Structure 1
Amino acid sequence: MAIGKRDRTRSKLLIAAQELALEGGASALTVYNLTERAEMAPGTFYNYYRTREDVLDDICALLVMATRQVVSQAIEGLTDLQAIVATSVRQTLRMAAPGQDIGHLLFDASLPTQNFILGMRQFFRRDLEEGMGNGAFQVVNEAAVIAMVSGSSYGVMQDIYQERLPMEMIEDIAEMTLRVLGVEAVVAAAQARLPIDFCAPPKLPLIATELLPPLGAAAR
């Protein structure tokens, strides 16, 4: 399917936004800076966004979708929900390896990351509910577990990126996650250490035409 002009223009704006955020943090994302970097007239910005905060939301959406895309590659072929969750945790945490652009954008650029955490929560909820339905997981308070796992995963990503936790601890964290979901200790330890071909974190800038839903026609 051909990519429309509006989607290409939005993608240019979001490429500029990521570059500016990596260079100067979220505060660098002024309308003037964005449109100058994207080589377009300042008024063009308002055909796509009302405020710079809307741009920040789309950057977080790109990060969520890029993470999910990489996780989907890592879990391809797996059918056991325990293995899927453990592998998802391991791949997600690897996205924040020290020195990676994604970690820099998430933890150094002062982005409002609430939407990133909410996106992680949405995907975890789906796997948890499926696992509860087939007996793979035993959870008493679903909402509490979803909040705890998604929030702590973000915190662990930050600690890994900032080298407060070593990468070698990722498997232990995946094991602990399964234990919170009611998986027996021996099984959790094994599932958290399955041999997996993990994917490298994607390079920035992320491309909106590849990751975000297409825009509709411009309002008349």
Structure 2
Amino acid sequence: MIADKGVSSRWRASQSHVLGKLSGFSSVQIIHIVSFWTSLVKSNQKCFQWRSTSQGAGMNRRQEIGAERRERTRHKLLAASARVVAELGENRASIDDFIRAAGVSRGTFYNHYSTRKELLDDLWTSIGRAPFFQIQRACEGLKDPAERLATQARLVFACAVRNEAWGWLVYSMSGDSEAIAEDLLQYPRPDLEIGREQGRFRFDNLFAARDLVVGSVRSGLRAVLQEARPTRYGDALCVMLLKALSIDDEEAHEIVARPIPELIELVPEG
């Protein structure tokens, strides 16, 4: 309000000064002069508004360009990191490995991620999690917890063969003490609990049973990806898992012989 009063006072003083100068002109001349003065003021106001709008639009566009460039760099880091995980396989990838593969500076890396764990978590969220959840959804229609558990493991093996980068990502994340994906640790738990409640499974400790399933799947992934085990290797491992959970031999073989859901749209070929 104080600023507005100051502007108004200056405007009135300027107006009085101009009107004093116009005392020697005829009324017609004064009308023309005042009309010109008014149009000049309006023109200046429009010019100021245009400049302000243009500056604001330019600033917004610069911010958009910066955000787009940052997102492109993030995707570049993620794609390179997925390649590193696939290439190194069992060996533990380092931040330096990710930086070299992406061709970025160390400062650029730390602009996006503070730690190796942050990168791996983003990698799992962006690339690994969706196929993993799709595998779980594909098995939701199976009523028997034993069949669900075995079918999920068989699909993980099949998807890893189809896309090795994804397979190595699952392997790496499931065994990395600094970045264990909660999704991987929790996936067998519901079926283990239901199976025990229904009398399908028998075990003393839920966490031990969970570690048995996750550890066996992880070992199976390494064998499939690194040692090129035959296709039926994963099925044989699933039979042994079911038997360890107290499913008899004949039924375990029958469950694993059942067809699995199609892999179309689950994991793209890598």
Is 1:199 the counterpart of 2:263 in the alignment?
yes
TM-score scaled by length of structure 1: 0.68
CA contact (8 A) 1:97 1:161 kept: yes
User: C-alpha separation between the residues in 1 aligned to 2:86 and 2:234?
Assistant: 26
User: C-alpha separation between the residues in 1 aligned to 2:108 and 2:262?
Assistant: 40
Q: Please state how far the C-alpha of 1:173 moved relative to its aligned partner.
A: 1.5
What is the CA deviation profile of residues 13-53 of structure 1, one whole-angstrom value per residue up to 9, with x for unaligned ones? 423432455568834312x86474xxxx9766545421244
Q: Aligned pair in 2 of structure 1 residues 127, 198: CA closer, same or farther (>3 Å)? A: same
User: C-alpha separation between the residues in 1 aligned to 2:231 and 2:88?
Assistant: 27
Gaps of 5+ in 1: 206-220
Q: Aligned pair in 2 of structure 1 residues 8, 193: CA closer, same or farther (>3 Å)? A: farther
What is the CA deviation profile of residues 78-104 of structure 1, one whole-angstrom value per residue up to 9, with x for unaligned ones? 122111111111111223327733245
Map of 1:214 onto structure 2: none
User: C-alpha separation between the residues in 1 aligned to 2:173 and 2:188?
Assistant: 22
Q: Please state how far the C-alpha of 1:12 moved relative to its aligned partner.
A: 5.4
Q: Please state how far the C-alpha of 1:202 moved relative to its aligned partner.
A: 2.1
Alignment length (residue pairs): 194
What is the CA deviation profile of residues 49-84 of structure 1, one whole-angstrom value per residue up to 9, with x for unaligned ones? 212442133324556514422412431421221111
CA contact (8 A) 2:124 2:169 kept: no
Percent of aligned pairs with the same amino acid: 28
Q: Aligned pair in 2 of structure 1 residues 126, 62: CA closer, same or farther (>3 Å)? A: farther
CA contact (8 A) 1:179 1:185 kept: yes
Which of 96, 99, 104 matches 2:160? 96
Q: Is the partner of 1:96 in helix, strand or coil? A: helix
Which of 59, 63, 72 matches 2:136? 72
The one of the two structures with greater contact order (alpha-carbon pairs below 8 A, sep at least 6) is 1
User: C-alpha separation between the residues in 2 aligned to 1:90 and 1:65?
Assistant: 17
Q: Which consecutive aligned stretches of 4+ in structure 1 deviate over 3 angstroms post-superposition? A: 5-13, 19-27, 32-36, 41-48, 60-64, 103-107, 110-113, 115-119
What is the CA deviation profile of residues 82-139 of structure 1, one whole-angstrom value per residue up to 9, with x for unaligned ones? 11111111111223327733245567xx878424575422111122112222333222
Which of 240, 245, 249 matches 1:181? 245
Q: Aligned pair in 2 of structure 1 residues 66, 113: CA closer, same or farther (>3 Å)? A: farther
Map of 1:158 onto structure 2: 222
- After superposition, residues 1-220 of structure 1 pair within 5 angstroms as 10-11=74-75, 13-19=77-83, 21-22=85-86, 26=93, 27-30=96-99, 34=102, 36=104, 45-46=109-110, 48-62=112-126, 64-97=128-161, 100-103=164-167, 113-114=175-176, 115=179, 119-163=183-227, 165-199=229-263, 202-203=267-268
Q: RMSD across aligned C-alpha pairs, in angstroms?
A: 3.6
Q: Please state how far the C-alpha of 1:158 moved relative to its aligned partner.
A: 0.5
Q: Is the partner of 2:202 in helix, strand or coil? A: coil
Q: Which amino acid aligns with 1:138?
A: R
What is the CA deviation profile of residues 137-167 of structure 1, one whole-angstrom value per residue up to 9, with x for unaligned ones? 2222222221122112101111011235311
User: C-alpha separation between the residues in 2 aligned to 1:202 and 1:66?
Assistant: 9
Q: Aligned pair in 2 of structure 1 residues 62, 130: CA closer, same or farther (>3 Å)? A: farther
Map of 1:210 onto structure 2: none
Q: Aligned pair in 2 of structure 1 residues 144, 112: CA closer, same or farther (>3 Å)? A: closer
Gaps of 5+ in 2: 1-66
Q: Aligned pair in 2 of structure 1 residues 47, 134: CA closer, same or farther (>3 Å)? A: farther
Structure 1 or 2, whichever has the larger Rg, is: 2
